[in-house]
């Protein structure tokens, strides 16, 4: 019975992930006074792209074709590690949060290699920026997870989020609040959301993530878009499990609450995108250093407790 | 109840970090004022049970002094001296924030080593030491004279929080004397900044390093 539940959790996450960008877009449209695209727009896009024939430039090699596949495969694996509503996934093991960070790094590495393989100047620029910001985002994320492991005394993601309860918020509220803030900033930067990058611009000179995937088409682009939504789901799930560590005891109500919270996080991202402007490119590292400072503070707080 | 006091301490540390990265002079003044107000509220949160009338009155004096009068005096000094809008740091903002974090690590180590009586709110000693260090950082790495006054105020906030670690309620006379000193100091510094800027047309402390009527280079002419 348990294995069915965990498989169902995994499938639900994999299937519902493309809904999050839809929620963000609807919230943004609401703030701009528009009706916006349908909630399930990404599903239509993915379906359309999967039916198309990819086009490959003659300068590219197998690296270019492998990039999106490795990217989406490592993100799906990362999703299999992720606890759902504080309940362990079927793939959880001790120390899996380090594996999770490496999987995210592998996905990024594959995308960057594919971008460099095209030989296009824009893609090289995008790849360089992506790596530059990753240098700041990864320590923040890693230190945050380390602090969380320290708070709960558990070495696995499932253990961490399983051990988090309302009581932890009562005793270690400052640490958890700092961690939530840090994770949210990392979410915005890693998913190329507004203060770091504008997902709507198609001006290559200012793009970060989007500039790397300009040459992909058809199913490859579908994999990349799906991978991006999985990444958004992943960071959102980490924030939700930190903020809302309630365990009502019933699986169904826990899951429903978790899903509601996920859409809440997506709406929060939409609101942030609607009310603040994007940062100048040279200021983005400052934002990520702030996230790093939050994570480091949380860790120091916890160490000296 | 002490969760609130702990969150307040975190807030004070975050304001230290914010002071290290803020580039605008007026928001720096506002941050220092806010930090003073938060530090003034802290003894009401950290005590046991309902606070005494004396403590409330004292907190009110501190809040009005640090939250209203000092920012007003500093804003006036800034406007009169034509100090401009930026704080003009000598080191970059990321370096400032890293120094601040390092200071916090060092002060949490130092706080665990100091033979102090057991504080009833966690982190009060490291937070106070980190605040004092942030004050020194503002004094040493910023170019304008007005940020030195700000740094002095931040150090005063840090010392005040450090005092809370020892006694929740300090002897009234001591505190009033310190407050009077700080008030007079800010007042005098405001006037001094005004006079410096009138005399030399700027308040850049890098130019004030020689005790001479002449600037460097003009001496032998």
Query: DSSP assignment of chain B, as one string?
Result: -HHHHHHHHHHHHHHHHHHHH--BHHHHHHHHHHHHHHHHHHHHHHSSSSPPHHHHHHHHHHHHIIIIIHHHHHHHHHHHHT--SB--BSS-HHHHHHHHHHHHHHHHHHHHHS-----SSTTHHHHHHHHHHHHHHHHHHB-BHHHHHHHHHHHHHHHHHHHHHH-SS--HHHHHHHHHHHHHHHHHHHHHHHHHHHHHS--BGGGG-S-SSSPTTTTT-
Q: Answer whether B104 touches A (CB < 8 Å).
A: yes
In angstroms, the Cα distances linking A275 to A214, A245, A265 are: 28, 28, 15
pLDDT confidence of residue A231: 94
Answer yes or no: do B97 and A289 touch at CB < 8 A: yes
Number of domains within chain A? 1
CB atoms within 10 A of CB A109: 17
Confidence of residue B221 (pLDDT cuts 50, 70, 90): very low
Q: Which residues in chain B are closer than 8 Å to A171, comparing Cβ atoms?
A: 3
Is the pLDDT reported for residue B154 higher than 50?
yes
Cα B36 from Cα B34, distance rounded (Å): 5
Query: Would the pLDDT of A14 be above 80?
Result: yes
Res. B220 pLDDT band, cuts 50 70 90:
very low
Q: Residues 167-186, chain A: which have Cβ within 8 Å of B?
A: 170-171, 173-174, 177-178
Is 0.95 exceeded by the ipTM?
no
CB of A21 within 8 Å of any CB in chain B?
Answer: no
Q: How far is A286 from chain B (nearest CA, A)?
A: 7
Please state, in angstroms and rounded to a whole number, the distance separating the CA atoms of residues B55 and B43. Answer: 8
pLDDT value of position B45:
75
3 state DSSP class of A102: helix
pTM of the model: 0.85
CA distances from A204 to A180, A214, A222, B107 (A): 32, 9, 20, 46
CA A137 to chain B, closest CA, distance in angstroms equals: 14
| Cα of A10 vs its chain's centroid, Å | 16
Whether A85 has its CB under 8 Å from any CB of chain B: the answer is: no
Tell if the CB–CB gap between B104 and A177 is shorter than 8 Å: no
Contact B61, B182 (CB under 8 A): no
**In contact, A300 and A56? CB cutoff 8 Å:** no
What's the Cα-to-Cα distance from A202 to each of A72, A119, A213, B5, rounded to whole Å? 23, 19, 11, 47
In the block, tokens 């910001």 appear at: A133
Average pLDDT over residues A121-150: 90
A232: left (phi over 0), alpha (psi -120 to 50) or beta: alpha
B7/A178 CB distance under 8 A:
no
Mutation target among B4, B11, B13, B20 for the A interface, most CBs of A within 10 A: B13
Is the C-alpha dihedral spanning A31, A34, A37, A38 positive or negative?
positive
Q: How far, in Å, CA of A141 to CA of A188, rounded?
A: 12
Asked if A279 reaches chain B (Cβ–Cβ under 8 Å), the answer is no
Query: Are the beta carbons of B94 and A300 separated by less than 8 Å?
Result: no
Instruction: Read off the pLDDT band of A27 (50, 70, 90).
Output: very high
| Closest-CA distance of chain A to residue B1, Å | 10
Q: What average pLDDT score do residues B44-66 get? A: 77
pLDDT of residue A138: 93
List C-alpha distances in Å: A302 to A122, A186, A296, B18: 43, 20, 10, 21
The whole-angstrom separation of Cα A80 and Cα A9 is: 9
pLDDT for the residue A235: 94
Tokens found for residue A209: 């993530």
Q: Which residues form the domain of A52? A: 2-303
Give A140→chain B minimum CA distance, Å.
13
> Minimal Cα–Cα distance from A293 to chain B, Å?
7
The pLDDT of residue B176 is: 74
B13: contact with A, CB 8 A cutoff: yes
Cross-chain Cβ contact B108/A305 below 8 Å: no
Whether A159 has its CB under 8 Å from any CB of chain B: the answer is: no
pLDDT the model gives residue B120: 62
Q: What CA–CA distances, in Å, run from A236 to A232, A233, A240, A289?
A: 6, 5, 6, 20
Q: Give the confidence band of B89 by pLDDT, cuts at 50, 70, 90.
A: confident
Phi and psi dihedrals of A235, rounded to 5?
-70, -40
**Which residue in B has a C-alpha nearest to residue A289's C-alpha?**
B94
Kindly list the residues from chain A whose CB atom is less than 8 angstroms away from the CB atom of residue B101. Answer: 293, 296-297
Q: Is A87 helix (H, G, I), strand (E, B) or coil?
A: strand
- Please identify among residues 174-213 of chain B the ones whose CB lies closer than 8 Å to any CB of chain A: none
């Amino acid at each position: 019975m348990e294995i069915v539940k965990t498989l169902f959790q995994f499938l639900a996450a994999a299937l519902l992930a493309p809904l999050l960008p839809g929620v963000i877009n609807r919230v943004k449209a609401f703030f701009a006074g528009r009706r916006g695209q349908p909630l399930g727009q990404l599903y239509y896009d993915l379906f359309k792209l999967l039916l198309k024939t990819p086009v490959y430039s003659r300068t590219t090699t197998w690296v270019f074709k492998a990039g999106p596949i490795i990217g989406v495969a490592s993100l799906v694996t990362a999703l299999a590690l992720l606890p759902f509503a504080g309940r362990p996934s079927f793939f959880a093991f001790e120390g899996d949060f380090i594996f999770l960070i490496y999987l995210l790094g592998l996905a990024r590495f594959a995308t960057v290699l594919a971008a460099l393989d095209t030989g296009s100047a824009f893609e090289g620029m995008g790849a360089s920026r992506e790596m530059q910001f990753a240098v700041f985002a990864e320590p923040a994320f890693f230190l945050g997870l380390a602090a969380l492991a320290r708070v709960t005394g558990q070495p696995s993601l499932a253990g961490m989020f399983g051990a988090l309860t309302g009581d932890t918020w009562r005793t270690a509220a400052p640490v958890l609040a700092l961690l939530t803030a840090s994770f949210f900033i990392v979410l915005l930067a890693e998913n190329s959301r507004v203060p770091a990058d504008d997902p709507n611009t198609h001006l290559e000179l200012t793009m970060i993530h989007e500039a790397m995937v300009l040459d992909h088409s058809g199913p490859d682009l579908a994999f990349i878009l799906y991978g991006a939504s999985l990444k958004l789901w992943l960071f959102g799930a980490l924030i939700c499990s930190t903020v809302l560590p309630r365990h009502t005891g019933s699986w169904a109500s826990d899951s429903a609450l978790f899903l509601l919270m996920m859409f809440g996080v997506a709406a929060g991202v939409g609101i942030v995108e609607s009310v603040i402007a994007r940062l100048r490119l040279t200021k983005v590292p400052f934002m990520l250093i702030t996230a790093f400072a939050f994570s480091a503070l949380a860790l120091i707080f916890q160490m000296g407790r | 109840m002490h969760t609130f006091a702990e969150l307040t301490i975190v807030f004070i540390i975050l304001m230290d970090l914010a002071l290290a990265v803020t580039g605008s002079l007026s928001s720096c003044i506002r941050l220092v004022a806010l930090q003073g107000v938060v530090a003034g509220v802290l003894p009401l949160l950290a005590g046991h049970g309902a606070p005494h009338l004396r403590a409330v009155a004292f907190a009110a004096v501190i809040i009005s002094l640090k939250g209203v009068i000092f920012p007003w005096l500093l804003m006036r000094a800034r406007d009169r001296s034509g100090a401009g809008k930026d704080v003009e740091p000598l080191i970059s903002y990321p370096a400032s924030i890293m120094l601040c974090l390092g200071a916090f690590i060092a002060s949490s180590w130092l706080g665990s080593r100091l033979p102090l009586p057991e504080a009833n709110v966690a982190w009060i000693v490291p937070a106070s030491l980190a605040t004092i260090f942030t004050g020194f950082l503002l004094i040493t790495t910023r170019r304008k004279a007005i940020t030195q006054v700000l740094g002095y105020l931040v150090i005063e906030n840090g010392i005040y929080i450090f005092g809370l670690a020892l006694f929740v309620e300090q002897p009234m006379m001591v505190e009033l004397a310190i407050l009077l000193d700080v008030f007079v100091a800010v007042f005098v510094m405001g006037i001094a900044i005004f006079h410096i800027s009138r005399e030399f047309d700027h308040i850049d402390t890098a130019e004030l390093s020689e005790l001479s009527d002449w600037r460097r280079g003009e001496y032998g002419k």
